[in-house]
Protein backbone atom coordinates (compact mmCIF):
# COMPACT_ATOMS: atom_id res chain seq x y z
CA UNK A 1 0.00 0.00 0.00
CA UNK A 2 1.23 3.48 -0.82
CA UNK A 3 0.26 6.54 1.15
CA UNK A 4 0.55 10.13 0.06
CA UNK A 5 2.65 12.22 2.38
CA UNK A 6 0.85 15.44 3.32
CA UNK A 7 2.01 18.56 1.57
CA UNK A 8 4.76 20.27 3.51
CA UNK A 9 4.88 23.99 2.92
CA UNK A 10 7.75 26.01 4.28
CA UNK A 11 7.61 29.79 4.31
CA UNK A 12 10.86 31.51 5.15
CA UNK A 13 11.26 35.26 5.29
CA UNK A 14 13.98 36.69 3.09
CA UNK A 15 15.67 39.76 4.50
CA UNK A 16 15.50 42.78 2.24
CA UNK A 17 18.56 44.38 3.78
CA UNK A 18 21.88 44.39 2.63
CA UNK A 19 19.80 25.79 -20.43
CA UNK A 20 18.25 25.63 -23.11
CA UNK A 21 14.56 26.20 -22.63
CA UNK A 22 11.18 26.26 -24.31
CA UNK A 23 8.55 28.92 -23.73
CA UNK A 24 5.12 27.28 -24.02
CA UNK A 25 1.53 28.46 -23.79
CA UNK A 26 0.22 26.42 -20.86
CA UNK A 27 1.47 24.80 -17.65
CA UNK A 28 -0.11 21.60 -19.01
CA UNK A 29 2.70 21.41 -21.56
CA UNK A 30 5.11 20.45 -18.76
CA UNK A 31 2.66 18.80 -16.37
CA UNK A 32 4.95 15.83 -15.68
CA UNK A 33 6.81 17.87 -13.06
CA UNK A 34 3.70 18.26 -10.87
CA UNK A 35 2.24 15.61 -8.61
CA UNK A 36 -0.75 14.10 -10.45
CA UNK A 37 0.03 16.64 -13.19
CA UNK A 38 -1.65 19.38 -11.17
CA UNK A 39 0.10 22.78 -10.84
CA UNK A 40 -0.28 24.83 -7.65
CA UNK A 41 -2.78 27.66 -7.30
CA UNK A 42 -1.08 31.07 -7.03
CA UNK A 43 -3.88 33.59 -6.35
CA UNK A 44 -4.11 36.24 -9.03
CA UNK A 45 -1.48 34.52 -11.18
CA UNK A 46 -2.22 30.83 -11.71
CA UNK A 47 -5.65 29.50 -10.79
CA UNK A 48 -7.10 26.12 -11.72
CA UNK A 49 -4.14 25.55 -14.02
CA UNK A 50 -4.90 28.75 -15.97
CA UNK A 51 -2.44 31.64 -16.26
CA UNK A 52 -4.51 34.78 -15.71
CA UNK A 53 -2.14 37.23 -17.43
CA UNK A 54 -0.43 35.38 -20.26
CA UNK A 55 1.37 38.48 -21.49
CA UNK A 56 3.24 38.83 -18.19
CA UNK A 57 3.64 35.29 -16.89
CA UNK A 58 5.37 32.79 -19.16
CA UNK A 59 5.62 29.03 -18.59
CA UNK A 60 9.04 27.68 -19.51
CA UNK A 61 9.79 23.99 -20.03
CA UNK A 62 13.43 24.09 -18.95
CA UNK A 63 15.13 21.88 -21.54
CA UNK A 64 18.77 20.88 -21.81
CA UNK A 65 20.27 18.51 -24.40
CA UNK A 66 16.76 17.98 -25.79
CA UNK A 67 15.40 16.65 -22.47
CA UNK A 68 12.94 18.56 -20.31
CA UNK A 69 14.45 18.90 -16.82
CA UNK A 70 11.94 21.08 -14.88
CA UNK A 71 9.33 23.80 -15.41
CA UNK A 72 9.30 27.48 -14.44
CA UNK A 73 6.54 30.08 -14.40
CA UNK A 74 8.37 33.33 -15.09
CA UNK A 75 7.31 36.89 -14.27
CA UNK A 76 8.59 39.08 -17.11
CA UNK A 77 7.72 42.28 -15.23
CA UNK A 78 9.55 41.52 -11.97
CA UNK A 79 12.14 39.49 -13.93
CA UNK A 80 12.16 36.64 -11.44
CA UNK A 81 10.41 33.26 -11.48
CA UNK A 82 7.06 32.89 -9.74
CA UNK A 83 8.14 29.31 -9.07
CA UNK A 84 10.08 26.38 -10.43
CA UNK A 85 8.61 22.87 -10.18
CA UNK A 86 10.75 19.79 -10.39
CA UNK A 87 10.94 16.10 -9.66
CA UNK A 88 13.37 14.82 -7.05
CA UNK A 89 15.10 11.53 -7.79
CA UNK A 90 18.03 9.63 -6.37
CA UNK A 91 21.18 11.71 -6.78
CA UNK A 92 23.48 10.20 -9.42
CA UNK A 93 25.98 13.05 -9.66
CA UNK A 94 27.24 15.18 -6.78
CA UNK A 95 28.91 18.58 -6.66
CA UNK A 96 28.39 21.65 -8.79
CA UNK A 97 29.24 21.76 -12.49
CA UNK A 98 32.71 23.03 -13.29
CA UNK A 99 32.92 26.41 -15.03
CA UNK A 100 29.32 27.37 -14.32
CA UNK A 101 27.74 29.01 -17.38
CA UNK A 102 24.68 31.15 -16.78
CA UNK A 103 22.05 31.09 -19.51
CA UNK A 104 19.06 33.23 -20.50
CA UNK A 105 15.86 32.32 -22.35
CA UNK A 106 16.12 33.81 -25.86
CA UNK A 107 12.46 33.11 -26.64
CA UNK A 108 11.42 35.69 -24.05
CA UNK A 109 13.23 38.28 -26.17
CA UNK A 110 12.21 36.80 -29.55
CA UNK A 111 15.81 35.78 -30.18
CA UNK A 112 15.87 32.72 -32.47
CA UNK A 113 18.86 30.73 -31.20
CA UNK A 114 18.53 28.57 -28.07
CA UNK A 115 21.01 27.50 -25.38
CA UNK A 116 22.15 31.13 -25.20
CA UNK A 117 24.68 32.13 -22.59
CA UNK A 118 23.96 35.15 -20.44
CA UNK A 119 26.10 37.89 -21.93
CA UNK A 120 27.99 40.39 -19.83
CA UNK A 121 26.85 43.20 -22.15
CA UNK A 122 23.18 43.14 -23.24
CA UNK A 123 20.32 44.19 -21.01
CA UNK A 124 17.11 42.30 -21.73
CA UNK A 125 13.56 43.67 -21.62
CA UNK A 126 11.74 40.62 -20.25
CA UNK A 127 14.24 38.86 -18.00
CA UNK A 128 17.29 39.34 -15.84
CA UNK A 129 20.72 39.48 -17.44
CA UNK A 130 24.23 38.90 -16.20
CA UNK A 131 24.81 42.64 -15.99
CA UNK A 132 22.05 42.93 -13.36
CA UNK A 133 24.17 40.95 -10.91
CA UNK A 134 27.10 43.37 -10.81
CA UNK A 135 29.88 43.44 -8.23
CA UNK A 136 27.92 46.11 -6.37
CA UNK A 137 25.10 43.66 -5.70
CA UNK A 138 27.13 40.44 -5.50
CA UNK A 139 28.47 41.63 -2.14
CA UNK A 140 24.96 41.27 -0.72
CA UNK A 141 22.97 38.99 -2.99
CA UNK A 142 23.53 35.53 -4.37
CA UNK A 143 22.01 34.16 -7.52
CA UNK A 144 19.59 31.99 -5.57
CA UNK A 145 18.37 28.84 -7.30
CA UNK A 146 14.71 27.91 -6.96
CA UNK A 147 15.38 24.43 -8.35
CA UNK A 148 18.61 23.86 -6.41
CA UNK A 149 21.59 22.33 -8.12
CA UNK A 150 22.02 20.02 -5.12
CA UNK A 151 18.62 18.40 -5.82
CA UNK A 152 19.36 17.69 -9.48
CA UNK A 153 20.00 14.01 -10.17
CA UNK A 154 22.43 13.93 -13.11
CA UNK A 155 25.22 16.17 -14.32
CA UNK A 156 23.01 17.51 -17.14
CA UNK A 157 20.18 18.15 -14.68
CA UNK A 158 22.57 20.22 -12.58
CA UNK A 159 23.76 22.22 -15.58
CA UNK A 160 20.14 22.95 -16.53
CA UNK A 161 19.54 24.78 -13.23
CA UNK A 162 22.05 27.47 -14.20
CA UNK A 163 19.61 29.69 -16.05
CA UNK A 164 18.73 33.18 -14.88
CA UNK A 165 15.06 32.24 -15.32
CA UNK A 166 15.52 29.89 -12.31
CA UNK A 167 17.21 32.54 -10.16
CA UNK A 168 16.21 35.25 -7.71
CA UNK A 169 18.39 37.78 -5.85
CA UNK A 170 18.84 36.11 -2.48
CA UNK A 171 20.61 37.62 0.53
CA UNK A 172 23.86 35.69 0.86
CA UNK A 173 23.54 35.13 4.60
CA UNK A 174 20.04 33.70 4.11
CA UNK A 175 20.96 31.57 1.09
CA UNK A 176 23.93 30.02 2.88
CA UNK A 177 22.19 29.94 6.26
CA UNK A 178 18.59 29.05 7.13
CA UNK A 179 17.51 28.43 3.52
CA UNK A 180 20.41 26.03 2.99
CA UNK A 181 19.53 24.18 6.20
CA UNK A 182 15.91 23.92 5.09
CA UNK A 183 16.94 22.43 1.73
CA UNK A 184 19.11 19.84 3.47
CA UNK A 185 16.27 18.95 5.86
CA UNK A 186 13.79 18.38 3.02
CA UNK A 187 16.38 16.31 1.14
CA UNK A 188 16.74 14.03 4.17
CA UNK A 189 12.96 13.47 4.26
CA UNK A 190 12.83 12.76 0.53
CA UNK A 191 15.69 10.25 0.70
CA UNK A 192 14.24 8.50 3.73
CA UNK A 193 10.53 8.30 2.96
CA UNK A 194 9.76 9.10 -0.67
CA UNK A 195 9.81 5.84 -2.65
CA UNK A 196 7.35 5.16 -5.45
CA UNK A 197 5.68 1.88 -6.44
CA UNK A 198 8.76 0.87 -8.44
CA UNK A 199 11.01 1.25 -5.42
CA UNK A 200 12.55 4.43 -6.82
CA UNK A 201 13.12 7.60 -4.81
CA UNK A 202 10.76 10.23 -6.17
CA UNK A 203 9.25 13.44 -4.88
CA UNK A 204 7.54 16.48 -6.40
CA UNK A 205 8.60 19.95 -5.32
CA UNK A 206 7.59 23.51 -6.07
CA UNK A 207 9.74 26.43 -4.90
CA UNK A 208 8.62 30.01 -5.40
CA UNK A 209 9.25 33.64 -4.60
CA UNK A 210 6.98 36.37 -3.27
CA UNK A 211 7.95 39.72 -4.87
CA UNK A 212 9.20 42.48 -2.61
CA UNK A 213 9.37 46.25 -2.96
CA UNK A 214 13.06 46.68 -3.83
CA UNK A 215 15.15 45.82 -6.88
CA UNK A 216 18.72 45.31 -7.94
CA UNK A 217 19.92 47.33 -10.96
CA UNK A 218 16.56 49.13 -10.77
CA UNK A 219 15.18 46.14 -12.62
CA UNK A 220 15.19 42.73 -10.92
CA UNK A 221 12.81 42.31 -8.00
CA UNK A 222 14.25 41.22 -4.64
CA UNK A 223 11.76 38.74 -3.13
CA UNK A 224 10.37 39.49 0.30
CA UNK A 225 9.79 35.78 0.90
CA UNK A 226 10.69 32.39 -0.53
CA UNK A 227 8.53 29.30 -0.10
CA UNK A 228 8.88 25.62 -0.86
CA UNK A 229 6.36 22.79 -0.88
CA UNK A 230 6.88 19.09 -1.51
CA UNK A 231 4.78 15.97 -1.72
CA UNK A 232 5.45 12.32 -2.46
CA UNK A 233 4.22 8.77 -2.14
CA UNK A 234 5.71 6.51 0.53
CA UNK A 235 6.03 2.74 0.60
CA UNK A 236 5.62 2.87 4.39
CA UNK A 237 1.87 2.46 4.98
CA UNK A 238 2.27 3.27 8.67
CA UNK A 239 3.95 6.57 8.04
CA UNK A 240 2.13 9.58 9.43
CA UNK A 241 3.27 13.11 8.95
CA UNK A 242 6.74 13.80 7.65
CA UNK A 243 9.09 15.24 10.28
Q: How many CB atoms lie within 10 A of CB 75?
A: 21
Average pLDDT of the chain, as a whole number: 85
pLDDT above 70: percentage of residues in the chain: 83
Structure confidence at residue 98 as a pLDDT band (50, 70, 90): confident
pTM of the full predicted structure? Answer: 0.86
**Alpha carbon of 86 to those of 36, 98, 121: distances in Å?**
13, 22, 31
Q: Which domains does the chain have, with CATH numbers?
A: 3-234 (3.40.570)
Q: Which helix (H) or strand (E) holds 189?
A: helix 178-193
Amino acid sequence: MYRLLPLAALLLLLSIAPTGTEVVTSMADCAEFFLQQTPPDIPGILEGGNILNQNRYKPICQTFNNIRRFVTLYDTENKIPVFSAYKYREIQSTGRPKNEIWKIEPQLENIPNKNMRASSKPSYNHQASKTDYTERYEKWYDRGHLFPCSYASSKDDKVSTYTLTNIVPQAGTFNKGSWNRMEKCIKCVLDEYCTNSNGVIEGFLVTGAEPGTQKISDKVNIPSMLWSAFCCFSHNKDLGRAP
